[in-house]
Every structure is written in structure tokens, then in C-alpha cells.
Amino acid sequence: MINRSMIVWLVLILVSCNNIDSKTIEKNMNSSNTEIYEYDLGFFGDEEGSWIHKQAKHFEISEIKRNHNTGQHLYIYKPKEGFTGTDVVEIETNKGSNGASFGTKNLLKIVFNLSD
């Protein structure tokens, strides 16, 4: 009886933890393959953050810069020299956490259409 009760509680806890609001935002960028692209992800508090969920494949620079004084996060991308075509990066963000609960998780998908 105790084992069954523990399993039920465990399942309820796991299901409630997976019930997180999230959305996917897609941005299509047409740019030259010689440009450095910067995308302002916004400002994040102590319990919030951003990270690269799926790295671009054809990059010289693909990183998130964090200003720890202001909380601003900036994604920076520069394609490999001479690369033309499509490259994709996925950035996950978590905002609105109060430290005791999950915040809102979003996925930003940036599609770079690069030409000469």
C-alpha cells in the first residue's frame, strides 16, 4: 500500500513539474555573410537566464554575452568566412522565476539567410 501511494505522489509531482508555460518565437534574418549580427535578448534577474539550446553549424562566433552589472543578455553571431546559405541557432530563455517556482520558458529560433 505504501509503495502504491509513493508511486502516485511521484507521478503527480513529475506531471506538475512538466506543466511549464513556454512558447517558440522564430526570427528570420537576411544578411550578408560578412556582417556580425547582434540580438538583444533582454534583461534577466538572478534566478533567470538564457543559453544556447541548439548551436548554429556554420559560425565563427555564436555566443551569448552577459553583462552581470545590468543583467542584459546579448546574442552575437558571425558566420564562417565565405559561408552562404542557411544557418539556425536556438536560444532558450527563462524569465519570471521568483526562486521558488519555474519561470516562463521560451525558445527563440533564429534562422540566418546569408548571402555574399
- Point out the residues of the chain with pLDDT beneath 70: 1-21, 98-99
Where in the chain are the domains?
21-115
Among 9, 91, 19, smallest CA distance to 49 is for 91
Among 105, 75, 102, smallest CA distance to 93 is for 105
Contact in structure between 110 and 39 (CB atoms under 8 Å): yes
CA dist., res. 20 & res. 63, Å (int): 26
pLDDT on residue 22: 75
How wide is the angle at C-alpha 63 spanned by C-alphas 62 and 64, nearest 5°?
Answer: 145
CATH of domain 21-115: 2.60.40
- In one-letter notation, the amino acid at residue 2 is I
